[in-house]
Amino acid sequence: MSSNTVRHDYKVTKENRQKQMGHRSLLLWFTGLSGSGKSTLANLVELELHKKGIATYSLDGDNIRQGINKDLSFAPEDRTENIRRIAEISNLMVDAGVVTLAAFVSPYIADRENIKHIVGAPNFIEIYVNTSLEECERRDVKGLYRKARAGEIKNMTGISAPYEAPINPDIEIKTDHQDINTSVQTILEVIIQKLK
């Protein structure tokens, strides 16, 4: 950080914004392998929250990598920087009073701990979309696993790069054995209580 910058304190606070919105703001962080169902779940949870009048915004891995993080590769150091930038964006969104839903593979425990540090532990809900590699490969929505198995993609999480599963997530969804509607309701039951 530059020694020539000074943080500016504004008159309208996060608490003021939350009061105006009528709910707390949180970061719902969906982590899991590619194809696990993170984005699908985040979209459906956001839809249900929106129906309840809760201010939301979704951040998705592919969308972010086509914009603010298009200069980053999938090498480990760039993955870490990708997640750090998203955490900083999420922190701004939470400060704005918005429930932010972030769907990112985010394969490293240390990076997810850093997110929690940036946004503050009380504002961070880690949702582990626990789907077996076999099921993710069976779905292979984007054709990434096929390409990774053929050697066309390097640093593919679960194939040629590690995924460090959360040790104690706030919510764990096992999509191999649970239908999508039940998964959404499981998440909402926890989130709605925390928004009060």
Binding-site entries for ATP:
32-39
Kindly indicate the confidence band of residue 2, based on its pLDDT and cuts at 50, 70 and 90: low
Q: What's the CATH superfamily of 22-195?
A: P-loop containing nucleotide triphosphate hydrolases (3.40.50.300)
Please give the structure tokens belonging to residue 67: 């914009």
Angle at 42 between CA 125 and CA 191, to 5 degrees: 40
Query: pLDDT by residue (tens digit) across 22-41?
Result: 889 999 999 999 999 999 99
Residue of 25, 58, 106, 183 marked catalytic? 106
Kindly indicate the confidence band of residue 104, based on its pLDDT and cuts at 50, 70 and 90: very high
> Catalytic annotation on 3?
no
Rg over CA atoms, the chain: 17
Domain regions of the chain by residue span: 22-195
Q: Which long-range contacts (CB under 8 A, 24 or more apart) does 152-156 make?
A: 154/74, 155/73, 155/74, 155/75, 155/76, 155/79, 156/34, 156/74
pLDDT at 1: 54
Q: Return mean pLDDT, the chain.
A: 92
Binding-site entries:
32-39
Query: pLDDT by residue (tens digit) across 38-97?
Result: 999 999 999 999 999 999 999 987 788 888 889 998 888 998 999 999 999 999 999 999
**What's the mean pLDDT in 103-126?**
96
Please indicate whether residue 17 or residue 45 has the higher confidence score (pLDDT): 45
